[in-house]
Chains A and B, each alone.
Chain A
Amino acid sequence: GESVGLHLPTLSVQEGDNSIINCAYSNSASDYFIWYKQESGKGPQFIIDIRSNMDKRQGQRVTVLLNKTVKHLSLQIAATQPGDSAVYFCAELRRGGADGLTFGKGTHLIIQP
């Protein structure tokens, strides 16, 4: 079946370093992608999105890269802070998709002091 997945269930980084969280998707019809952050006990929170007609989009300390050739999405967090510790999900919306978002399984980002 078609799915959106993440390469690593857990990523540990040193505070102050840059973090890169990866996501692979299999549906070439997907044209909209979102990264969500979920802290313990809370609902997913929007971080950044990107449409399929873009390769890169930047926000505050975050950058999303989209490689449609290999169906790969990544989230880069600059100068990782303790507050960045959370589970990060990528999600895709398929073209004409009326059935909500398809989520990956999530990567738990752990910040080492």
Chain B
Amino acid sequence: DADVTQTPRNRITKTGKRIMLECSQTKGHDRMYWYRQDPGLGLRLIYYSFDVKDINKGEISDGYSVSRQAQAKFSLSLESAIPNQTALYFCATSDFIGETQYFGPGTRLLVL
């Protein structure tokens, strides 16, 4: 969905490196989410934010951090990347809790 964009779309990095994945949305939504997708495991929630001053840990937050720079921007950082963080990462937005979440195109990350 072009309303939610993610950069980069693909990234290869080495163990121990710090990397940042960025998400921007033009939907005007307050709520933003970061998910990770692994084969056979579906999507799992990493962090979510209800507004610029609100950050919450999801199911698998260890090894990750986030920053909500503005209503439209939510970035995910891997402070020291490790190989088992190789996955597909999705950003999503929603208007209200319980309402539809709209997903970005994903970032494919490979940690060597």
Contact = CB atoms under 8 A, between A and B. Distances in A.
B45 A99 contact: yes
Contacts of A93: 97-98
Contact of B45 (A42, A44, A101, A104): A101
A103 B59 CA distance: 12
Contacts of A32: 98
Nearest to A48: B100
A34 B41 CA distance: 17
Contacts of A98: 48, 50, 56, 97
A42 B105 CA distance: 5
Given A34-B100, A44-B90, A103 B106 contact: no
A105 B42 contact: yes
B42 A100 contact: no
B98 A43 contact: no
B63 interface: no
Chain B interface main SS type = strand
Contact of A43 (B41, B44, B103): B103
A97 interface: yes
B40 A105 contact: yes
Contacts of B43: 44, 89, 91, 101, 103
A32 to B, nearest CB: 5
Contacts of A105: 40-42
Nearest to A101: B101
A45 interface: yes
B45 A100 contact: yes
Contacts of A31: 98
A34 B101 CA distance: 9
Contact of A49 (B44, B48, B100, B105): B100
A54 to B, nearest CB: 14
A45 B43 CA distance: 13
Contact of B103 (A9, A44, A102): A44
Interface of B: 1, 4, 33, 35, 40-45, 48, 50, 56, 58-59, 90, 92, 97-98, 100-106
Interface of A: 9, 31-32, 34, 36, 41-46, 49, 89, 91, 93, 97-106
